[in-house]
Amino acid sequence: MTNPIRTALLWAGVALVVLLLALAAIAYGAVPLGAHAVVGALAGHGDAVTVAIVRTLRLPRAVLALLVGAGLGMAGAALQGALRNALAEPYLLGVSGGAAVGAVAAVALGATGALVLPLASFAGAALAIAVALLVARASGGHADPRVLLMAGVIVGAFANAAIMVLLSNAPPNAVRNALWWMMGSVGDASWITVWWLAGYVAVGGALLFWLARDIDVLSLGEESAAALGVDSGRASRRIFLIAALLSAATVAAAGLIGFVGLVVPHLVRSLGIRRHRALIAGAALIGAGLVVGADLVARLARPPAELPLGAVTALLGVPFFLVQLRRLS
């Protein structure tokens, strides 16, 4: 990536693909729309029904998918770099599970506001990552990426159990919401959700952008980070909290969507991008494209039924995970 023209062309190409995927996501659905109708409706022209479909249903859904993907991609890139772990991502580390517990608990207590719900998720996510790291450390092998992953899966299983306990005497509406969270979906997108998620993704992304150079150094390991003047304990705690915030906000908005944070940073690295500032920006872009594309697949695979978005990303992510796992040994 030393040639700036090549780099610029590469980014422009990726951005174009993401844009086309987003337009396709707006065009396809129960009422398929042509490119002309989509562009016209986005600008406010055309018949009222088309404009309504595009502006109140399809556009918020596509934007929500883009934001969820950006948040998960950035969280995954930051976690992989700071933990020096090619398998790290919010879902596998149990962070998303913790966030879902927080969200379900908040809903069970009747709190569903734009501020309370993501913050309850964040509390659950932060607790989950702290526990996963403690469990990995206590088992003495936190240098082995697989041990941390095991700890994350255990935390995720615990989170699942906690959700079931919370649901055991919940009203039907809460159960429906919780199930929706467990499977992941951007189908209930509203502009309000889009706006607050945009706020969290922008803040989290800006913080990661600011700390990106520290992540570069953290990825060299504790001793070399210390030699370069970075307190790895403090710097990585900050990064874990920001990654937890990003994951929690996506969970509160769209539920559990796994493996995006795993796959996306590897895709960005395969484009020759190594430094974390560029890596995080690339992960936001490619993550956005991946989730909007996955949502398109979810809607197109078996119409008129919709597949859960989390299932689509898992079907994509699990084989990828196995390849990465094999690469470790």
Partner 1 sequence: MIAYEGAVVRYPRATIAAVNDVTFSAPRGAVTAVVGPNGSGKSTLVRALLRLAPLTSGRITIDGTSIAQLDRRAMARQVVVVAQRETLVFALPVWEYVALGRHPHAGPWSPVPGRTDFAIADALDRAGIASLAERSTHELSGGEWQRVRIARALAQGGSAFVLDEPTTFLDIAHEMSMFELFARLAKDGLAVLLVSHQLNLVARFADTIVLLNRGRVAAAGTPADVMRASVLEDVYEWPLLITRDPAVGAPALLPLRNRSPHSPSNPT
Q: How far apart are CA 324 and CA 322, in angstroms?
A: 5
303: preceding bond cis by omega (within 30 degrees): no
| Footprint on residues 252-271 left by partner 1 (CB under 8 A) | 269
* For partner 1, the closer CB: 222 or 306: 222
Under the binding rule (CB under 8 A), the answer on residue 210 touching partner 1 is yes
Among 71, 76, 81, 98, binds partner 1 (CB under 8 A): 81
Under the binding rule (CB under 8 A), the answer on residue 275 touching partner 1 is yes
Cβ-based neighbours of 262, under 8 Å, separated by 6 or more: 76, 87, 88, 89, 91, 92, 317, 320, 321, 324
Nearest residue to 77 via CA among 319, 271, 231, 222: 271
Q: How far apart are CA 244 and CA 96, in angstroms?
A: 8
Among 139, 274, 301, 323, binds partner 1 (CB under 8 A): 274
Q: Which stretch binds partner 1 (CB under 8 A): 15-23, 47-55, 228-236, 280-288?
A: 228-236
* For partner 1, the closer CB: 176 or 274: 274
As measured in angstroms, the least distance from the Cβ of 29 to partner 1 is: 39
DSSP state of 57: I
- Binding letters toward partner 1, positions 163-202, x by CB under 8 A: ----------------------------------------
Q: Which stretch binds partner 1 (CB under 8 A): 41-49, 223-231, 237-245, 287-295?
A: 223-231
Helix (H, G, I), strand (E, B) or coil at 49: helix
Among 52, 206, 227, 323, binds partner 1 (CB under 8 A): 227
CA 177 to chain CA centroid, Å, is: 19
DSSP state of 224: H
Under the binding rule (CB under 8 A), the answer on residue 144 touching partner 1 is no
